[in-house]
Structure formats: C-alpha cells, structure tokens
Amino acid sequence: MPEDKPTSGQRGDPAADAVRQASQKASQQASQQASQHWDPHRYNRNAGFVAELGAPLLDLLQPAKGERVLDLGCGEGALTAKIAAAGAAVVGVDSSPEQVAAAKARGLDARVMNGEALTFEAEFDAVLSNAALHWMLDPDAVLRGVAAALKPGGRFVAEMGGQGNVETITQALFASLQARGADPVKACPWYFPAPEAYQARLEAAGFAVESIALIPRPTPLPGEIGGWLETFAEAFLKQVPADEGLALIAEVAERLRPSLCDSEGRWSADYVRLRFVARLAG
Ligand code: BEZ
C-alpha cells in the first residue's frame, strides 16, 4: 500500500493528507472502483484532451514496427491507435468494459483487465500508461504486473497525476462535502505520488529509472469545471444523495471560479504530471 509522504507544502493540508490517506487504503479499492464508471461519450466530451496531451509520451516511447506494446489503462483507445499507427502490435487493457468496447470499435485489440492484476508474462517490449496509474491504489501490485509483462530490458513509459495534482479541485470538494457532513477522506480514489517515492517503488520492482519528474501542467478544459467533476469526481459526488449532486457541483464550481476560471469564462484544471521512463533489468 502506498505510504508516500506529502511535500512540505502539503503537510497538514487536509485535502492533500486525504489524497495520501486514500492511497493507503487498499481495502477500499473495490468500492472506489465501483464508484467511478466511464461513459465513453461523456469522457470524449469532457476529457478528449487527455489523449492529445499524451503525445509527449509517444515521443519518449518511440514505438517501432514489429514491437509488441501494452497500453495500460487504454481508455477508449485514442493513444493506443497512435501506437498501432506507428507499426507496433499493441494490446490495450482497461478495467472499464465500456471504454474497452469503445476501443474495440476502433478495431483495436483491447481487453478488460484490472491493472492491479495483470496476467501477461514476458511478452511486451514496452508498456505505456497515460493518466491511468493514479486510479490504481495498489502501485506495487501494478508494478509487479508490469515487470512480469515485459521482456528483459523492456521499457515502461508513463505519465500519471503526481504530488499536488488537482489539489485546488480536491480542496474545494473537501470543503463542500465536509460542510454537508460527508466524509471525503473515505471517498478519495486517487494516488498522486512524489517522484522519489515512485522511483523507490519502480526500483523495488526491478526497474532502473532513466528519468522521472513532476511537471506542473495547468490544463485548459473543453468546457466548464462541472463537466470535469461529473466525469472524474464521481466517487466524491456519490457521498451526497443523488438529488443534491447538481447543487454540490455548482457549489464546488463557485469555490473554484476565482482560481481556475479566467475573466473570459475559460476553465482549467491544476494538473501536475509525474512522467517517467524506466527499464526492466536485462
Ligand atoms: C489526472 O489525469 O491527473 C486526473 C484526472 C482525473 C482525476 C484526477 C486526476
């Protein structure tokens, strides 16, 4: 279970502490995963940018013709399709049957699989993961599975939410839920590690880390913050009765407006990426 430490800036910050505590509660995993479902249409409407912004990962991955690549947390397959277009044989896995169905509809080899229980054995030259690992609250199980899936010397190239990711949004959700007597700590479904902590996990799983860094990346949203909350913060929204959901979203949006909405009404999210390249021992 992750016990990664917060940055000094986060220490004592209830929302950041809760992100960490959530990361420490593997026992909550099943219910947290059940509390987030992925609707490919809603996802495309509110989060189409996720795959677009994953382009730097492809530059790092350099998929080659004849290689076999695993896309871990492939979603509806936008990035998977780009790996296939580069000539590699790519398999996408995702825990969401709806997203996998959407990926299959693109003609991709996509399979429903829990990232914490991968079943591949020494069959991939590379594993890529974009914006998925922070939903998997047992990182050591994930890394064991990735290491097992790779051939000796295989590479693992990934980007996930890192320490401080969506902290403003998390704080607003916490404030509104606590004001309603709900317990957001229990609901928090995300793991945003610091580079040092994740590097230690990678090394313990048998990887040599070639690069790892936090990259603050405030990200313009295609619509209002409410769409982002509906798409990604379901686990928090479910802490209140269904008929209070819209009011909660509106209230959280008003808390966030001063910091995440500009004078022309354009919203952004305070993303911080953790990007790394690691290689399995040969
Ligand atoms: C992310 O990509 O960093 C992210 C997306 C949704 C919820 C939390 C984090």
168-194 pLDDT, tens digit per residue, is 999 999 999 999 999 998 899 999 999
Are 122 and 149 a contacting pair, CB within 8 Å?
Answer: yes
Neighbour count for residue 123 (Cβ, 10 Å): 13
Could you give the strand order of the β-sheet that contains 150-161, starting from the edge strand earlier in sequence? 109-112, 89-94, 68-72, 124-130, 150-161, 268-280, 207-220
Which pair of tokens denotes residue 187? 């609901």
Q: What is the pLDDT of residue 162?
A: 98
Q: What is the pLDDT of residue 21?
A: 53
From 136, 166, 168, the mutation candidate for ligand 1 (largest count of ligand atoms within 8 A of CB) is 166
Q: pTM value?
A: 0.88
List C-alpha distances in Å: 168 to 38, 78, 127, 137: 23, 28, 31, 21
Percent of the chain with pLDDT over 70: 88
Give the residue, 32 or 137, on which the prediction is more confident.
137
**In this model, does residue 29 exceed pLDDT 60?**
no
Q: What is the pLDDT of residue 216?
A: 97
Poorest-confidence range of 14-18, 26-30, 108-112, 164-168? 26-30
**In this model, does residue 2 exceed pLDDT 80?**
no
**In this model, does residue 128 exceed pLDDT 80?**
yes
Closest CA to 169 of 239, 246, 233: 233
- Residue 17's pLDDT band, with cuts at 50, 70 and 90, is low
Task: List beta partners, residue 90.
Answer: 69
Q: What are phi and psi of 101, to 5 degrees?
A: -60, -40
pLDDT tens for each residue of 220-276: 999 999 999 999 999 999 999 999 999 999 999 999 999 999 999 999 999 999 999
Q: What is the pLDDT of residue 147?
A: 98
Q: What is the pLDDT of residue 19?
A: 54
From 271, 274, 275, the mutation candidate for ligand 1 (largest count of ligand atoms within 8 A of CB) is 271
Closest CA to 100 of 137, 108, 68: 108
Closest CA to 217 of 253, 166, 266: 166
Average pLDDT of the residues of the chain: 89
Could you identify the residue written with the tokens 């382009």? 55
Q: What is the pLDDT of residue 4?
A: 66
Give distance in angstroms: CA of 131 to centre of ligand 1: 7
Q: What is the pLDDT of residue 46?
A: 77
Which pair of tokens denotes residue 275? 């990007």
Q: What are phi and psi of 66, to 5 degrees?
A: 90, -15
The CATH class, in words, for 37-280 is alpha beta
d(CA 39, CA 217): 25
The DSSP letter of residue 267 is B
- Residue 9's pLDDT band, with cuts at 50, 70 and 90, is very low
Pocket (CB within 6 angstroms of ligand 1): 131, 134, 161, 165-166, 190, 232, 271
d(CA 276, CA 262): 31
Could you identify the residue written with the tokens 């990035």? 79
| Residue-range domain boundaries for the chain | 37-280
Are 112 and 47 a contacting pair, CB within 8 Å?
Answer: no
**In this model, does residue 1 exceed pLDDT 80?**
no
Using DSSP's 3-state secondary structure scheme, residue 185 falls into helix
Give distance in angstroms: CA of 91 to centre of ligand 1: 23
